[in-house]
Amino acid sequence: MPETPQYTFEYRDVKHPRCEFKTGSLLIVLPKKGWTPEQVLEKYGEWIKRKRATISAAVEQTNETALVKDRTDKELRSIVNRYAEAAQKDLNTKINKIYYRKMTTKWASHSQNNNLTINSLLKLLPNELISYIVYHETAHNLERKHNEKFWGLVSKRFPDYAGKEKGLLTYWFLIQKLSH
């Protein structure tokens, strides 16, 4: 009998259940009616297993990964602005404003008003990953969801986007490890 993974769950005003691994721990998000955590575990068991393996590989990789040191917030802003200008030109779109703050579950976000919020922890990442994150978020001006059209836009500039995503996961866990 397969081992039941550790998880937490919460009920939200959603139509469909989903699983999240934002900080490495499994969170099951359930609609207020119709689903139990056990049903979600059964339905998404293989996905959960694959995701856990991906996270384990990223955590192992943290031993061979180094953070960028001594980059100031001002330097980060300059780098992000340079990459944002290039991404806007490449994608023929416009970012409204760029905000910076420390975020606990993601590298950046894109709003409906075409604003970007950048995690100030990006200053610890290599330039190629900062460039990728800014391009990724700018692409959300044209396609909101992570669907085939979105990844098609991203892959024109970053054909190795899957590798970038794995790298970001490794850096995420490296930062978590060093901050505890």
Instruction: Verify that 142 and 167 share a domain, yes or no.
Output: yes
pLDDT for 20: 87
Please say if the pLDDT value at position 114 is more than 70.
yes
Torsion 124-157-111-114 (CA) sign:
positive
Q: Are residues 59 and 99 in the same domain?
A: no
32 with 81, same domain: the answer is: no
Radius of gyration of the chain (CA): 18
Q: Is residue 3, in this structure, part of any structural domain at all?
A: no
pLDDT tens by residue, 23-46: 778 999 999 888 999 999 999 999
User: What total of structural domains would you count in the chain?
Assistant: 2
Q: State the pLDDT at residue 2.
A: 55
pLDDT over 70 (residue 180): no
Residue 27 sits in the same domain as residue 93:
no
Report yes or no on 120 lying in a domain: yes
Same domain, 60 and 79: no
Q: Are residues 118 and 147 in the same domain?
A: yes
The single residue listed with the structure tokens 């259940």 is 17
Residues 49 and 85 in one domain: no
pLDDT tens digits along 139-150: 999 999 999 999
Q: What is the pTM of this model?
A: 0.83
Q: Residues near 128 by Cβ (< 8 Å), separated by ≥ 6?
A: 164
Is residue 1 included in any domain, yes or no? Answer: no
